[in-house]
Amino acid sequence: MLFGSYKIDYKPEGADSTVTIDFTPPFKRIDLYDALKAAYDAEFPPAEELLTEAARLKLSAIADRFGVVCGEPRSTARLLDKLVGERVETQCLNPTFIINHPEVMSPLAKWHRSRPGLTERFELFCMTKELCNAYTELNDPEKAAGDDEAMPVDENFITSLSYGLPPTAGWGLGVDRLLMFLSSTNNIKEVILFPAMKPDTGGAAGQEEEEKGAEKTTANSAPQNAKKA
């Protein structure tokens, strides 16, 4: 352990004091759709019906009722993401797993084996920020092909799936975000190993360019002054 404890002090941006983040395992788990229904005093459509237009309209009405802003296009996936971000993710201060995302939010994740309409996916949140995203990979070529009108299809990828992809899982961890918590930093540029930087126009090189510009201006103005004289 870096600090000799699972608890670390972190000062959020704009806060007057530090907060304690407790990384003591096991982390809390939240079922996304169950938590969503509990967070809003409204009737949500069944998870297995989320791909229908009726479900989209119902979610749109819930968002309007509770003042959750969602711009166009107000798709089911975008509406769910905004609703979750407003009242579920904001409750994840200590490390928390949000699990079992709806299929409509996770097109590349494999469907849940016992809960229709959901997927085998989880995200790890800390201080309302996402640290990790992971799921069982979709290995069904027909389902992966999806709607050919939605976006271009990667035919080579679909062909590879048809040969047979064994049960596979994938995950991505935001190491830079984790380092921000460990170092109590609010600017991600402070922890990125090779941050993007603007060109430095100062120093000797910048001064040389300024001198060249001044010489050019003087040379251009000299004949005009002589003619006037």
128 with 59: CB under 8 angstroms? Answer: no
Work out the pLDDT band at 133, boundaries 50, 70, 90.
Answer: very high
Phi then psi for residue 130, to 5 deg, are -75, 130
Terminal C-alpha separation, the chain = 80
The better pLDDT of the pair 189, 20 is held by 20
What pLDDT, on a 0 to 100 scale, did the predictor assign at position 218? 47
Q: What is the mean pLDDT of residues 30-36?
A: 97
Peptide bond into 199 cis (omega under 30): no
What pLDDT, on a 0 to 100 scale, did the predictor assign at position 207? 58
132 with 171: CB under 8 angstroms? Answer: yes
Work out the pLDDT band at 228, boundaries 50, 70, 90.
Answer: very low
Q: What is the rounded CA–CA span in Å between residue 213 and residue 229? A: 25
82 with 69: CB under 8 angstroms? Answer: yes
Tokens, residue 199:
């060109």
Give the residue among 127, 18, 1 at the shortest CA–CA distance from 9.
18
What pLDDT, on a 0 to 100 scale, did the predictor assign at position 146? 64
Residue whose structure tokens are 């790890």 = 124
Exposure on the CB side of residue 130, measured as CA atoms within 13 A: 14
pLDDT in tens, 194-226: 877 777 766 555 556 555 555 554 445 444 444
Q: Is the pLDDT score of 73 beyond 50?
A: yes
* Cα Rg of the chain, angstroms: 27
Mean pLDDT lowest for which of 121-130, 154-163, 190-199?
154-163
What's the pTM value of the predicted model, to 2 decimals? 0.76
Structural domains in the chain plus CATH codes: 7-190 (3.30.930.10)
Work out the pLDDT band at 1, boundaries 50, 70, 90.
Answer: low
Q: What is the rounded CA–CA span in Å between residue 185 and residue 11? A: 8
Q: What is the mean pLDDT of residues 136-155?
A: 67
Q: What is the rounded CA–CA span in Å between residue 117 and residue 158? A: 23
Alpha-carbon distances of 27 from 39, 123, 180, 183, rounded to whole Å: 20, 12, 19, 21
What average pLDDT does the chain have? 85
Work out the pLDDT band at 75, boundaries 50, 70, 90.
Answer: very high
Give the residue among 112, 111, 110, 44 at the shortest CA–CA distance from 79.
44
What is the β-pairing status of strands 121-126 and 129-136?
antiparallel
110 with 136: CB under 8 angstroms? Answer: yes
Mean pLDDT lowest for which of 9-18, 120-129, 157-166?
157-166
